[in-house]
A and B are shown apart, each in its own frame.
Chain A
Amino acid sequence: MTTQSVADERSVRLVAFRQTISRWDVKVSPYLYISPFFILFAITGLFPLLYTGYVSLHEWSLIGGEGDYVGFDNFAFVLGQEKFWVSLRNTFSIFLFSSVPQVLLALVIAAVLDTNIKAKTFWRMGVLLPYIVTPVAIAIIFGVMFADKYGIINTFLGGLGIDPIGWHSDVIPSHIAIATMVNFRWTGYQALIFLAAMQAIPRDYYEAAMIDGASRVRRFFSITIPQLRPTIIFVVVTSTIGGLQIFDEPRLYDQFGRGGADGQWRTLTMYIYNLGWVESNFGRASAVAWLLFIIIIIFGALNLFISRQISNGGSKVKK
């Protein structure tokens, strides 16, 4: 009898205890589950980003560590360097040569893949193949292909009767060569993204347009492009964020990694590396990092705005 009531009491208490635990479980668990992301992002993303600002306001060397507070001296110094402006020019030039042709070509590839072709998976995998090649390997291979003297590209152009081009020695050709590496790796990938978006467009639109007598080209510009608007914006903005940080391809375009004799293809991220790990000046490297950070944010927002305007115009025409 007594043992029975003790047991009852115990089980009642146990149930109450379990309920408390369970209530806490429900309340706390969600935060617990998302916390690894936020904790690790704070330590390895947010903190270093803010700390970059702190370092940029100090004299700071690779070996000696933190020095005096110098205000905006590091910023003033790098902004007064021709190297900074050349790097900025190179970064934007390479970005333009890679993003614009890449998006256009990817759209055309996607449009062809969107037809009723045979062996769909084969073609899709084929265009995606370059994506799995390390940028370092791409840069080494293309660096040799684009060699000024024995390069296969110049040999090929020679066969067409074109004079050899200074793919390494000249500014614009070197930018085109580096942009070609980026395009090689990413065009197929972007094409698949566009293809997926194209397949989501209701086919009735096309059939209606056909009955109206719209040509294939007209259908592409009046239906496909406006319908792809959000996807194009997405691709442009993400490739802006990545493209302006380009490092691997220009770094390995030749064996010296300095961005050419006159820095003709040195990008801003390469400049950060050179300041920090070649000249051992962390303060100045951080200043450039912050400047590039701001440029990316501004330019990303600008791109978002522009591509919105453009595709808005497109959809207005359609309606």
Chain B
Amino acid sequence: MSTLTKEAAAESIAKNRAPKSKTRGALINKPGWLGYSFLGLVMVAAIYPIYWAFMIGSGDQTTITKREVIALPGPNFLDNALQVISNPTVNFWVAIGNSIIVSTIVSISVVFFSTLAGYAFSKLRFKGRGGLLYFVIATLAVPTQLAVVPLFIVMVNLKLAGTLPAVILPALVSAFGVFWMTQYLEQALPYELIEAARVDGASMFRTFWSIALPSARPAAAMLALFIFIQTWTNFFWPFIVLDKDSQTLPVALSVLSNNYFDDYSLILAGAVVSILPLFVLFLVTGRQLVKGIMEGAVKG
């Protein structure tokens, strides 16, 4: 009885108050100065290491020994960066080019194959659909990264070791991508549209191409973004299978850290340079990235 009245009271209060503010939770959760300063602190922790690297990277060899926690950047960042980029052992330009090639091809491929499979899993009827989808999801839990030894043997035998295809081929499909597109198309693509296209005589592939693909666009863009970042930052397998001419950016960065270990201003300038491309991408697409993570979380 008492709970009943409480619930009723809560409901009536909620109803009464609802029109005043459209923002959910506005009444309960007004952040105080404590909330803002906490977030400010988190933000400082997120930015400070990068700023610090820039500070050291813009000084000279002695900056690191000055022991200042917060200081202004020095004048040498461009010089240091150029010295790193033009160094023939580190091969930075080639590495950036390779990273762009690998990440772009992998993103496009994953998006295409994931959309194709996601369309089949969400909208087409065929025998074994449920079981096969379960299998795809189960592979997410398999640490395939550990199977580097045979993968390396295979790549050597195919004469692909030391070439970009050695990194691209194993990454062309993604279980996460298939799962992601299946989830999205499930609710975003109405059956009526597919049936209409079929009635008009479109082939299965034509239906996919002109109906499913366009409506998958928002999710596909987010997936492309994730895969691009994931591929760009990937280190373990590229480090094993690539060589000096085929290295991607993280591999080049590891070479840099091994070659210059007495001059931290150069190493850290290199680290900052390596962050820049994705940082620019983040400035442009960060909003979508946040949205993608949050939407994926609700579904997953």
Contact = CB atoms under 8 A, between A and B. Distances in A.
A261 interface: no
Contacts of B20: none
A140 B236 contact: no
A125 B284 CA distance: 11
Contacts of A159: 69
A245 interface: yes
B294 interface: yes
Interface in A122-155: 123-138, 140-142, 144-145, 150, 152, 155
Nearest to B64: A150
Interface stretch (A6-14, A96-104, A170-178, A207-215): A207-215
A124 B297 CA distance: 15
Interface in A277-308: 277, 282, 285-286, 289, 292-293, 296-297, 300
Contacts of A27: 126
Given A52-B150, A210-B28, A204 B11 contact: yes
Contacts of B286: 125, 128-129
Given A150-B64, A241-B143, A129 B30 contact: no
A51 B9 contact: no
Q: SS class of chain B's interface: helix, strand, loop or mixed?
A: helix
A30 interface: yes
Given A41-B173, A126-B46, A127-B46, A51 B147 contact: yes
B295 interface: yes
B30 A116 contact: yes
Interface in B248-300: 249-250, 253-254, 257-258, 261, 264, 267-268, 271, 274-275, 278-279, 281-282, 286-287, 289-290, 293-298, 300
B173 A37 contact: yes
B31 A49 contact: no
B278 A133 contact: yes
A137 B251 CA distance: 10
Contacts of B150: 47-49, 51-52, 54-55, 286
A117 B39 contact: yes
Interface stretch (A76-84, A86-94, A247-255): A247-255
Nearest to B27: A207
Given A33-B117, A47-B150, A141 B141 contact: no
Contacts of B235: 134-136, 247-248
Contact of B25 (A128, A206, A276): A206
B204 interface: yes
Interface stretch (B47-55, B79-87, B214-222): B47-55
A80 to B, nearest CB: 20
Contacts of B65: 150
Interface in B51-108: 52-53, 56, 64-65, 67, 69
Interface residues of B, number: 106
Interface size class of A (residues with CB under 8 A): 35 or more
B253 A137 contact: yes
A192 B287 CA distance: 12
Contacts of B1: none
A44 B139 contact: no
B49 A44 contact: no
Nearest to A124: B290
B178 A37 contact: yes
A114 B113 contact: no
Contacts of B142: 45, 49
A55 B142 CA distance: 19
Interface string A183-194: 010001100111
A115 interface: yes
B149 A196 contact: no
Contacts of A219: 28
Nearest to A197: B297
A75 interface: no
Nearest to A137: B271
Given A36-B117, A117-B31, A124-B290, A49 B147 contact: yes
B204 to A, nearest CB: 4
B63 to A, nearest CB: 10
Nearest to B178: A37
A129 B39 CA distance: 13
Contacts of B53: 137, 141, 144
Given A133-B275, A150-B65, A45 B147 contact: yes
B153 interface: yes
A37 B113 contact: yes
Given A188-B42, A196-B293, 14 more contacts: A40-B113, A49-B150, A52-B149, A55-B153, A125-B290, A127-B46, A130-B46, A137-B274, A140-B271, A141-B49, A203-B28, A241-B143, A251-B254, A300-B141
5 contacts: A29-B204, A34-B117, A47-B150, A48-B147, A272-B146
Interface of B: 6-7, 9-11, 13-14, 23-31, 35-36, 38-39, 42-43, 45-47, 49-50, 52-53, 56, 64-65, 67, 69, 113-114, 116-117, 119-121, 124-126, 129, 132, 136, 139, 141-154, 169-170, 172-173, 175, 178, 203-205, 208, 229, 232-233, 235-236, 240, 249-250, 253-254, 257-258, 261, 264, 267-268, 271, 274-275, 278-279, 281-282, 286-287, 289-290, 293-298, 300
4 interchain residue pairs of minimum CB distance = A48-B147, A51-B150, A196-B294, A115-B29
